[in-house]
Amino acid sequence: MSQPLATTIADPLKVHPEDFPDIQGFILHGYNMPKSRHFVLTLGQVEAALDFLSALTSGSGALSITSAERWPRGVKPVYALNIGLTARGLEALKLPASLTINQGNFSSFLAGAVAAAHTVGDIGPNDPANWVPKLNTANADRAHLLLSLYTNTAEDRDTYATQLREMFAKVIPPAGAPGSDVLEWDVDPYVFTDPVSGESFRKIHFGYTDGISNPIIDEVGLAPPRPNKLPYVAAWQFLTRDGPMTTYNLPTPLEFGQNGTFSAFRILEQDVAAFDAFLSADGRDEAAQEFLASKLCGRWRNANPVVRRPHAPGHRLPDNELTDFAYGTDTVGEPCPYSAHTRRTNPRGGPLVSVGDQVDNRIMRRADAYGPHYDGTDDGQPRGLAGHFMCAMLSNQFEFIMSQWVNSGTFPGLAAQAGIDPLLGNVPGGSSFTYWESGSPVTVGGFSRFVTTKGGLYCFIPSITAIKWMAQNGGVSNPWTVPPA
Amino acid sequence: MATTPIQNALTAIIPIKAQFVDQLRAQLASNPINPSGLDAVGTVHFARIFVFAANNASGVPSNLAAVITTYDFAFAPYIQAFVNQPAVAAFFDSFLMMVDDPTAAGLVPVTKNAAGFAAFVQKYDNTNPANSWGQWYSAYPGLSVQNILHPTPKKAPKRAAGH
């Protein structure tokens, strides 16, 4: 007989150390483990699925879900594992009908990533009809469960992937049945080692240093924010929690709804050859290419923000200075264009569509590069970025950023030249890119889409308590179903 | 009703319960719109809210309130930022309790029910083709509030050449 799950109402503003065992680890902190593999599967056998969830949280299985508990002496484990479920996945578990997920707050999650395609710019070549088969329009309703496995070595990844497959073998539909296929997607970030300093940095295939300015969730024990640095964000914006200041009604019961988050899992293919061709067109020399690349991103490839280093990259700034800038006095787009990737995805209080302090619209990125490292040769190999973009409200955070900032061409400045995020947006072919220099706009032609969406999945990342609750309470005869839109 | 790719209009005419009409009228008379809340949203060009007077010349029933605004971009994505402003939220939480619609009270607090509040307002929006038809004019159809507040210097563009 299962024991009642003890749950108390958590602090909506801060994460406390006693919360760590209940929160999936990758929400609070990136693991910085160099190998990962994402699995997407269909739940074909309810009882087996419930046993699987139980095994993942009881320690009875070969692998367990990794919580946010601190690693002893800071030593990384050999693997980390996290789990998410789509709305159709929750439905497949046959959870009690008393479960509530507020339609007004979480309609995006309930409808799924395919339904959000138009909102987030997944149209044209990005259309879900063109996604990888497991996630595409025809099969999206059978994409139920997402497992993200992180390891330190490729060998460990294969070892633990094998054990994980054995654990979920009885969960998926039998071979040959619809949904019996499992999507497995490897992520192998490229690590660049600076020949001078010896320091190592992750880079995306476009050559930019990665992982600079994720929001930091406020935790008890963190030092207060320093002037001009990114402020800490309240826990409720990235962990589902209840309180008078939250902008949503917590899913219920509390055991299910608290301490989770939502994720937009994305597979984004990057056309690095086209990007390089755009940079090198018109006979630009290497320095000119780097200058243009800095305008596209808002950072030089060594991570220095163009706001702080407007003319040349210079030596890489100390880590704590890489986020120490704002756009407050730059109302023209010089030195940082309004369409630059960093400005589009985090306006830092700049006078665009101001929307309060804009902190409400941040997302947490846990994504890295996949595919072989690009060595300057157009080898035709698929490569890009895959992983999780997390937040408490997909509509007000992930979808807001994608629809109103990344893919909107109507920021201040010359509306027709404000542009679309060149590194993430759905840029029409034959566009031009405009930046400002010495008070005048400079227009570069031949600009087009460099990123194509190859997959998307909206998941609920439940708390450890919620996983246990689902394992104990699923399989009912009159279950919860996804409410109609 | 045609607007522009940037600007949109909203003219919501909303019924008020008879017993609250005087209270709302007094509230609107004594509490001018707090500009800081709308400034913070950054998408609102103009906003008006009023209750029709008894025996007004147009013969409009005096239990109707009007919310009239011109704003930038889509309505729904910005409604959360709008109701997150404390003064805005306080007003509409109070307002919804006076509205003669059985769904209104369920939208309180509006901060937690922004999407439902947006749908509620749009239901009563008379720029919605389901409710009326007509024409619309803007003297500066291509400009957002932020374009106006932060104008870009007019300089001749130049082509990039090798940098």
For B24-36, what is each residue's pLDDT tens digit? 999 998 887 777 7
**CB B43 to CB A353 under 8 A?**
yes
d(CA A33, CA A76): 8
Nearest to A353 among B72, B114, B143 (CB): B72
Which of A290, A266, A325, A232 has the alpha carbon at shortest distance from A113? A266
Asked if residue B81 is part of any domain, the answer here is: yes
For residue A216, the one-letter residue type is I
Nearest to B80 among A247, A331, A412 (CB): A247
pTM, to two decimals: 0.93
What is the tally of structural domains in chain B? 1
**CB B155 to CB A439 under 8 A?**
yes
Confidence of residue B98 (pLDDT cuts 50, 70, 90): very high
Asked if residue B112 is part of any domain, the answer here is: yes
What's the mean pLDDT when you consider all of chain B?
87
d(CA A48, CA A303): 47
Give the three-state DSSP class for A128: helix
d(CA A201, CA A211): 9
**CB B73 to CB A351 under 8 A?**
no
The CA-to-CA distance between both ends of chain B, in Å, stands at: 46
* CATH classification of the domain holding B71: 3.30.70.100
Mutate to test the interface with B, among A357, A410, A417, A443 (most CBs of B within 10 A): A410
d(CA A316, CA A251): 44
A 147-206: CB under 8 A from B: none
Query: In B42-85, where does DSSP find H-type helix?
Result: 76-83
Tokens matching residue A394: 């997909």
Mutate to test the interface with A, among B150, B154, B155, B159 (most CBs of A within 10 A): B150
CB count within 10 Å of CB A132 equals 14
Over 90: is that where the pLDDT of B127 sits? no
- Interface predicted TM-score of the whole assembly (ipTM), two decimals: 0.86
Q: How far is A211 from chain B (nearest CA, A)?
A: 27
Give the three-state DSSP class for A289: helix
Which chain A residues are Cβ-neighbours of B143 within 8 angstroms?
Answer: 415
Predicted pLDDT of residue A225: 60
Which chain B residues are Cβ-neighbours of A439 within 8 angstroms?
Answer: 153, 155
* A224 CB-side CA count, 13 A: 1
d(CA A425, CA A44): 36
Asked if residue B145 is part of any domain, the answer here is: no
Residue in chain A nearest B86 by alpha carbon: A245
* A287 CB-side CA count, 13 A: 4
CB proximity B72 to A under 8 Å: yes
CB proximity B149 to A under 8 Å: yes
**CB A441 to CB B155 under 8 A?**
yes
Q: How would you class A8 by CB atoms within 10 Å of its CB: exposed for 0-12, middle for 13-18, buried for 19 or more?
A: exposed
Q: Where are the domains of chain A?
A: 17-267+455-473, 271-359+405-453
Mutate to test the interface with B, among A360, A391, A414 (most CBs of B within 10 A): A414
For B2-20, what is each residue's pLDDT tens digit? 567 788 999 999 999 999 9
**CB A104 to CB B113 under 8 A?**
yes
Nearest to A441 among B74, B116, B157 (CB): B157
Which chain B residues are Cβ-neighbours of A360 within 8 angstroms?
Answer: 80-81, 84
Predicted pLDDT of residue A3: 62
Range of the domain at B93: 7-131
CB proximity B34 to A under 8 Å: no
Mutate to test the interface with A, among B45, B79, B120, B146 (most CBs of A within 10 A): B146
Over 60: is that where the pLDDT of B1 sits? no
Query: b/e string for A165-186 if b means 16 or more Cβ within 10 A?
Result: eebbeebbbeeeeebebbbbbe
Predicted pLDDT of residue B162: 45
Instruction: List, run by run, the mean pLDDT of 10-residue segments along chain A (485 residues).
Output: 74 95 95 96 98 97 96 94 98 98 96 97 96 98 98 97 98 96 96 82 91 85 63 92 95 97 98 95 94 96 94 89 81 86 84 59 93 91 97 95 83 58 86 85 87 97 98 98 91
d(CA A169, CA A81): 17
